[in-house]
């Protein structure tokens, strides 16, 4: 991807559209525009735009009111149509790795690969049970028709999609300087999905993506809604208990596989209301591992409030990656 003067990092989920436009001059990143807009119920469902008119109305309003100038967009996706799997393959020369991964991806992806766009991130090397060298990768697969719909809809608004990336991997890039040297986990919650990733030595060693359980769907939506003035204690407890349960399950699974390398820190990231209380509830439940909300992109001096950076962490990472060329 060619280096650009400015670019928009873009995300959309069932709750809202978020976008930030960044530029980079003499190594300094600056914010040119930043904004978000709520989406009406039903505009996006199950990762697909179901009401294109409503979506486009909100998108145009966001771009105009936010004074966005660039037409180059990097889109972040993170929903049930994006599958991430940790996999190991026999070690082969770098120029042969992609073909091998694509040929064997069906073993790890529960959806026909012809329906998916597949990419991967190298996650280190090791040996298998037979002491043979292997290369570990994080497979990222997304439904092709979802990606094509995104490109078509944004194109109708004169936006050019220059890349599509995983939102949660974008967040990981922003977290790397904060957690340098730690064996840590990222617990990321949107109103659609919950991600749990473990990173050690700068490489992803476990990934788990969970669709929000039915028992907590309405409570999660309430915590992301901007309509009510307050969050009910019942909704907060429901979401906190769900997060605690899923985190404990993920930590236990990782510990069984990696007893000698325990997780040292869990970073919780979410634009849901009462995120600090949710982080504390998870910390109380896990209790052996500290849980906290990270402060991101402090070295970049973006001139944004910390809460705004948290909300736009995925968008920022997407745009910054594109600016690096």
The three-state DSSP-derived secondary structure of the chain is: CCCCCEEEEEEECCCEEEEEEEEEECCEEEEEEEEEEECCCCCEECCEECCHHHHHHHHHHHHHHCCCCCCEEEEEECCCCEEEEEEEEECCCHHHHHHHHHHHHHHCCCCCHHHEEEEEEEEEEEECCCCCEEEEEEEEEEEHHHHHHHHHHHHHCCCEEEEEEEHHHHHHHHHCCCCCCCCEEEEEECCCEEEEEEEECCEEEEEEEEECCHHHHHHHHHHHCCCCCCCCHHHHHHHHHHHHHHHHHHHHHHHHHCCCCCCCEEEEEECCCCHHHHHHHHHHHHCCCCEECCCCCCCCCCCCCHHHHHHCHHHHHHHHHHHCC
What the block records as the tokens of 161 is 């999609």
In angstroms, the CA 145 to CA 48 distance is 9
CATH for 82-143 (3.20.20.220, 3.40.109.10, 3.20.20.20, 3.30.1490.300): 3.30.1490.300
Exposed, middle or buried: residue 25 (CB in 10 Å: 0-12, 13-18, 19+)? Answer: exposed
Residues of the chain with pLDDT > 90, as a percent, come to: 74
Say how many C-beta atoms besides its own lie within 10 A of residue 79's C-beta. Answer: 22
Give start-end residues of each CATH 3.30.1490.300 domain in the chain: 82-143
Exposed, middle or buried: residue 129 (CB in 10 Å: 0-12, 13-18, 19+)? Answer: exposed
Strands 72-77 and 184-189: unpaired
Check if the beta carbon of residue 13 is closer than 8 Å to that of residue 225.
no
Q: What is the pLDDT of residue 287?
A: 87
Q: Which residues pair with 120 in a beta bridge?
A: 139
pLDDT tens figures, 181-215: 889 999 999 988 999 999 988 888 899 999 999 99
**Band (270; pLDDT cuts 50, 70, 90):** very high
Q: What is the pLDDT of residue 4?
A: 76
In angstroms, the CA 188 to CA 186 distance is 6
pLDDT exceeds cutoff 70 at 222: yes
- Tokens 């039915």 found at: 214
**Band (5; pLDDT cuts 50, 70, 90):** confident
Which backbone phi and psi does 222 adopt, to 5 degrees?
A: -65, -35
pLDDT exceeds cutoff 80 at 228: no
What is the architecture of the domain spanning 6-79+144-169+298-323? 2-Layer Sandwich (3.30)
The average pLDDT across 139-147 equals 96
Check if the beta carbon of residue 44 is closer than 8 Å to that of residue 50.
yes
Q: What is the pLDDT of residue 261?
A: 84
Nearest to 298 by CA among 165, 197, 176: 176
What the block records as the tokens of 256 is 């069984």
pLDDT exceeds cutoff 90 at 258: no
The class (CATH top level) of 179-292 is: alpha beta
pLDDT tens figures, 282-320: 999 998 899 999 999 988 889 999 989 999 999 999 999
pLDDT exceeds cutoff 70 at 2: no
Give start-end residues of each CATH 3.30.420.40 domain in the chain: 6-79+144-169+298-323, 179-292
């Amino acid at each position: 991807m060619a280096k650009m003067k400015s670019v928009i990092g873009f995300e959309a989920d069932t709750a809202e559209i978020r976008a930030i436009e960044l530029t980079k001059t003499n190594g300094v990143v600056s914010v040119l525009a930043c904004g978000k807009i709520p989406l009406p119920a039903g505009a996006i469902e199950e990762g697909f735009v179901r009401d294109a008119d409503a979506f486009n109305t909100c998108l145009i309003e966001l771009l105009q009111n936010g004074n966005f100038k660039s037409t180059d967009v990097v889109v972040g996706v993170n929903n049930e149509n994006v599958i991430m799997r940790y996999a190991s393959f026999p070690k082969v020369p770098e120029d042969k790795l992609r073909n091998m991964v694509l040929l064997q991806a069906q073993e790890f992806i529960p959806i026909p690969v012809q329906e998916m766009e597949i990419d991967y991130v190298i996650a280190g090397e090791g040996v298998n049970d037979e002491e043979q060298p292997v290369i570990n990768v994080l497979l990222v697969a997304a439904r092709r028709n979802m990606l094509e719909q995104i490109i078509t809809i944004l194109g109708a608004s004169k936006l050019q999609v220059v890349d599509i990336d995983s939102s949660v991997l974008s967040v990981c890039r922003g977290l790397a300087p904060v957690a340098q040297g730690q064996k840590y986990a990222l617990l990321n919650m949107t109103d659609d999905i919950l991600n749990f990733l473990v990173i050690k030595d700068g490489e992803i060693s476990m990934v788990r993506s969970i669709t929000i359980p039915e028992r907590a769907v309405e409570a999660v939506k309430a915590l992301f809604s901007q309509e009510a003035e307050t969050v009910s204690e019942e909704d907060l407890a429901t979401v906190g208990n769900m997060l605690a349960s899923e985190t404990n399950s993920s930590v236990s699974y990782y510990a069984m596989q990696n007893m000698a390398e325990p997780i040292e820190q869990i970073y919780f990231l979410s634009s849901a209301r009462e995120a600090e209380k949710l982080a504390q509830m998870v910390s109380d439940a896990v209790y052996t591992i500290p849980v906290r909300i990270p402060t991101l992109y402090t070295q970049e001096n973006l001139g944004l409030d910390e809460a705004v950076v948290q909300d736009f962490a995925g968008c920022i990472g997407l745009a910054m990656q594109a600016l690096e060329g």
